[in-house]
Amino acid sequence: MNSEKTKVALVDDHELMRNGLARIIERFEGYQVLFEADNGEDFIRQVSESEHPDIVLLDISMPVMDGYQTAEWIKKNMPKMRVLVLSMMDNEKAIIKMIQLGARGYILKDTKPAVLKQAFDQICAYGYYSNEQLTGKLIHQARENLLAEEEEFRITEREKEFLHHVCSELTYRDIAKLMNSSPRTIDNYRDALYRKFDIKSRVGLALFAIKHGYYII
């Protein structure tokens, strides 16, 4: 990082919380608080009148314009700004939604100052901050999505096995022998998956299998 300080904007409707955070951040080497805002509307007004912050420390629950709306506005209008969520909300729905809206990290309000500094440093260095809590929630959500997808399309265990073998160099006839099935049955697996997922080729099946974890490279 160069000698120029990273500028931070604080967006939280609790003034005491903001003031306390501002004092903490001003003690971090290499960082300065550019401005504080009560909510998303106040943030948009101030950001149009001043320098643009490098990092926006954003709460979710705020009146007038909440954190979801604010993150969506930033993603659409100022995508280079890096949003770090600081919230009391510790639930998968809130975390996943904020990440989908472009947040680069998510920490709780009872986080220690040293962890907040670490989050800032990682966002500046790598573009994101990934902690155990965030990673765990995302992995769990990905698993839930996969299970829901399997339920929706009714992927059978035999089809999963077929998808795994599709990623190899085996011919369909070889796959049939390996699965103790007839070539016609293997063709049926292939054609059924083509229809379910609108896939046109074996390459498409292989890409689908890798993407959804039926085959690990």
pLDDT single digits (tens) 38-60: 999 999 999 998 889 999 999 99
Residue with tokens 């339920």, as numbered in its chain: 151
Q: For residue range 112-148, what is the model confidence (pLDDT) as tens digits?
A: 999 999 999 989 988 888 776 566 555 456 556 655 5
What is residue 2's predicted lDDT score, i.e. its pLDDT?
45
pLDDT of residue 95: 82
Q: Distance between the two ends of the chain, CA-based, in angstroms?
A: 36
| CA geometry: angle 111, 114, 116, nearest 5 deg | 55
What is the domain partition of the chain in residue ranges? 6-138, 148-211
Nearest to 212 by CA among 152, 170, 169, 130: 152
Domain 6-138 belongs to what topology? Answer: Rossmann fold (3.40.50)
- Kindly tell me if the per-residue pLDDT of 155 is higher than 50: yes
Pairing of strands 6-11, 105-108: unpaired
The pLDDT confidence band at residue 195, using thresholds 50, 70 and 90, is: confident
Largest separation between any pair of C-alpha atoms in the chain = 71
Report which DSSP code applies to 5. P
Q: What pLDDT score was predicted for residue 129?
A: 85
**C-beta separation of 43 from 11 below 8 A:** yes
Give residue 1's pLDDT band: very low, low, confident or very high (50, 70, 90). very low
C-beta of residue 217 within 8 angstroms of C-beta of residue 210: yes
CATH dotted code for 148-211: 1.10.10.10
* Strand ranges in 123-206 using DSSP code E only, listed in sequence order: none
Would you give the DSSP letter of residue 29? Answer: T
Tell me the pLDDT of the chain averaged across its residues. Answer: 86
Topology match between the domains 6-138 and 148-211:
no
